[in-house]
């Protein structure tokens, strides 16, 4: 199963819904392209909904970090929403849980941008 990415606006926050697997190849490059596209359009508040992501490999982790760095360098914010237990454990093992702002509920995550 490959990755599926959709974007939607909630106020001034761009929510990127990701489902599937973020792995080397199509998954990580699709995430990279989606983030680049959104930043290029001038969106600064990005919420990455990973609630339907079943698996992330090291390449996918690399894309998350690269996306976070890219958005931050443009003066924006990238936050994560709805991590599955597997993804949450992976972020804790890699110590990235301290880098990303992680939320469990969408309304609270969107309020956190203001």
Put the strands of the sheet holding 4-10 in their side by side order: 4-10, 13-22, 45-56, 77-81, 101-103
End-to-end CA distance of the chain: 36
Q: How confident is the model at residue 1 (pLDDT cuts 50, 70, 90)?
A: low
pLDDT at 2: 83
What is the per-residue pLDDT across 61-102, written as a single tens digit (0 to 9) for each? 999 999 999 999 999 999 999 999 999 999 999 999 999 999
- Spatial distance between the Cα atoms of 96 and 75, rounded to a whole number of angstroms: 20
Contacts of 40 (CB under 8 A, 6+ apart): none
Domain definitions of the chain by residue range: 4-111
Q: Which fold has domain 4-111?
A: Transcription Regulator spoIIAA (3.30.750)
**Model pTM?**
0.95
pLDDT at 114: 87
Does position 13 have pLDDT exceeding 80, yes or no? yes
- Spatial distance between the Cα atoms of 114 and 17, rounded to a whole number of angstroms: 21
């Amino acid at each position: 199963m490959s990755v599926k990415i959709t974007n939607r606006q909630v106020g001034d926050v761009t929510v990127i819904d990701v489902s599937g697997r973020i792995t080397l190849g199509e998954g990580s490059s699709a995430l990279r392209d989606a983030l680049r596209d959104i930043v290029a359009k001038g969106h600064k508040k990005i919420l990455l909904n990973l609630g339907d992501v079943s698996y992330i490999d090291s390449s996918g982790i690399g894309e998350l970090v690269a996306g976070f760095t890219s958005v931050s360098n443009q003066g924006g914010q990238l936050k994560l929403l709805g991590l599955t237990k597997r993804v949450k454990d992976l972020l804790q093992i890699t110590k990235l849980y301290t880098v990303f702002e992680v939320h469990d509920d969408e309304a609270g995550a969107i309020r956190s941008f203001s």
